[in-house]
Structure 1
Amino acid sequence: MKDTTNENHLDFVGDDLAINFINTRRMVEGQLTDTLQSDSDVKAWLRRLEVPVAKGSLPFGDGVLLKGARGLREIALAAVQDRKSGKKPSLGALNRFLADAPSHAVLTTDTANNIRMTRVYGKQTVEAFLTPVAEAVADVLADGDFNLVRHCEGNACVLWFYDRTKGHRRRWCTSAGCGNRAKVAAFRARARQT
Structure 2
Amino acid sequence: DSPIEKVRVASVNNNVSFVNSNEALVAGIELEYRQKLGKIFGSGQYSALNDFYLGANATGMFTEVRLDPTVTIGNGSSIAPTNTTRRMQGASPFLINADINYNKTFGKHDLSTTLDVNYFDDRIYAAGGNEVDDVYEKGFATLNFTLVDKIGEHFEFKITGRNLLDPNIERYQDQRSLGREITVSKFNLGADFGLGVTYKF
Shorter-chain-normalised TM-score: which range?
A: under 0.3
Q: Report which structure shows greater RCO (CA 8 Å, sep ≥6).
A: 1
TM-score (normalised: structure 1): 0.21
TM-score (normalised: structure 2): 0.21
Instruction: Indicate the structure with greater strand content.
Output: 2
